[in-house]
């Protein structure tokens, strides 16, 4: 069994390779730069693992926080970019990759079912 922090590469794709774009993963892609600017190190590291096609485990609460941070990247991009349309096309492709990998690479681990997922502390 893997630990939550441990990660292994997917058997379907070579580690560090982005088959969608046919190149190797870059730590400085625009999505990660914007995400890192939010100051949420956990979301940054989890997203980085997904871009690197790593496998790991998250709780539902962690998945919600992660995807909310991705939504904030879009909001920041729309506010700050004079070339928003071109950036949104790129970011959309990156988000498709992230959601595909979130579904295939992240093993959901159980947490207390009595936790209110609508809590502001998520």
Whether 54 shows a pLDDT value over 70: the answer reads yes
Virtual CA dihedral for 95, 99, 101, 106, nearest 10 degrees? 130
Q: What is the count of structural domains for the chain?
A: 1
Task: State phi, psi for 91 to the nearest 5 degrees.
Answer: -60, -40
Task: State phi, psi for 28 to the nearest 5 degrees.
Answer: -105, 25
Q: Is 60 part of any domain?
A: yes
Q: Which domain holds residue 53?
A: 8-109
Q: Is 66 part of any domain?
A: yes
Q: Is 1 part of any domain?
A: no
Q: Is 98 part of any domain?
A: yes
Burial grade of 114 (CB within 10 A; 0-12, 13-18, 19 or more)? exposed
Q: What is the average pLDDT value for the chain, to the nearest integer?
A: 76
Q: Is 38 part of any domain?
A: yes
Q: Is 3 part of any domain?
A: no
Q: Is 117 part of any domain?
A: no
pTM above 0.75, yes or no: no
- 106 CB neighbour count, 10 Å cutoff: 19
Q: Is 2 part of any domain?
A: no
């Amino acid at each position: 069994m893997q630990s939550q922090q441990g990660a292994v590469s997917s058997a379907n794709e070579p580690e560090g390779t982005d088959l969608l774009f046919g190149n190797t993963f870059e730590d400085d892609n625009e999505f990660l730069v914007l995400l890192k600017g939010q100051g949420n190190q956990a979301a940054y590291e989890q997203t980085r693992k997904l871009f690197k096609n790593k496998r790991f485990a998250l709780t539902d609460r962690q998945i919600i926080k992660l995807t909310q941070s991705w939504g904030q990247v879009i909001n920041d991009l729309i506010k700050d970019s004079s070339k928003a349309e071109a950036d949104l096309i790129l970011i959309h492709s990156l988000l498709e990759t992230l959601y595909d990998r979130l579904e295939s690479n992240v093993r959901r681990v159980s947490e207390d079912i009595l936790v209110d997922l609508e809590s502001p502390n998520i």
